[in-house]
């Protein structure tokens, strides 16, 4: 089996995965899932033997790399793929001059997952697409 995680221009593959996980599984309204940031974001795609299995995006703003839209299809969950996706996002963020921190909005159930990857929660819990989230930050 061959796992490849890299920056991609294949937005359609990323959107297909995101719609499967966020819209179909989690009930996020389709009009909230896709936004204008997709046009300028750096997209990361994970493929297993050529089949898309996970994705994330990184939006750069000043000294912050905002990681978002992180998802892994059901068969890939619990395999370490999510951690590898986040590590790839952090590595990509580190390549950009002046970027000093990675930030993300984590679903509450995933706080422990991100903490293991060096992120620290801050601020209040808030609703995003009807799901409780909390912001998290990691210095680069």
List domains and CATH numbers for the chain: 3-139 (3.40.630.30)
Per-residue pLDDT band at 104 (split at 50, 70, 90): very high
If you average pLDDT over residues 47-52, what whole number do you get?
Answer: 95
- Residue 10 is encoded by which pair of tokens? 């294949």
Could you give the percent of the chain with pLDDT greater than 90? 92
Model confidence, pTM? 0.93
Tell me how far apart the alpha carbons of residues 122 and 85 are, in angstroms, rounded to a whole number.
22
For 69, phi and psi rounded to 5 degrees?
Answer: 50, 40
What pLDDT, on a 0 to 100 scale, did the predictor assign at position 1? 78
Reply yes or no on whether the pLDDT at 130 is more than 90: no
pLDDT at residue 25 greater than cutoff 90: yes
Q: What is the DSSP string of 8-73?
A: ES-HHHHHHHHIIIIIIIT---HHHHS-GGGGTSEEEEEEETTEEEEEEEEEEETTEEEEEEEEE-
């Amino acid at each position: 089996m061959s796992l490849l995680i890299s920056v991609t221009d294949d937005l359609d593959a990323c959107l297909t995965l995101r719609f499967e996980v966020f819209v179909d599984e989690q009930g996020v309204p389709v009009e909230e899932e896709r936004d204008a940031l997709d046009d300028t974001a750096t997209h990361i795609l994970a493929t297993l033997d050529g089949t898309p299995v996970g994705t994330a995006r990184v939006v750069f703003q000043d000294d912050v790399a905002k990681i978002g839209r992180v998802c892994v299809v059901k068969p890939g969950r619990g395999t370490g793929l999510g951690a590898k996706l986040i590590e790839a996002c952090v590595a990509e963020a580190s390549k950009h001059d002046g970027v000093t921190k990675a930030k993300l909005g984590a679903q509450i159930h995933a706080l422990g997952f991100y903490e293991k990857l060096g992120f620290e929660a801050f601020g209040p819990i808030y609703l995003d697409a009807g799901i409780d989230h909390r912001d998290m930050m990691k210095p680069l």
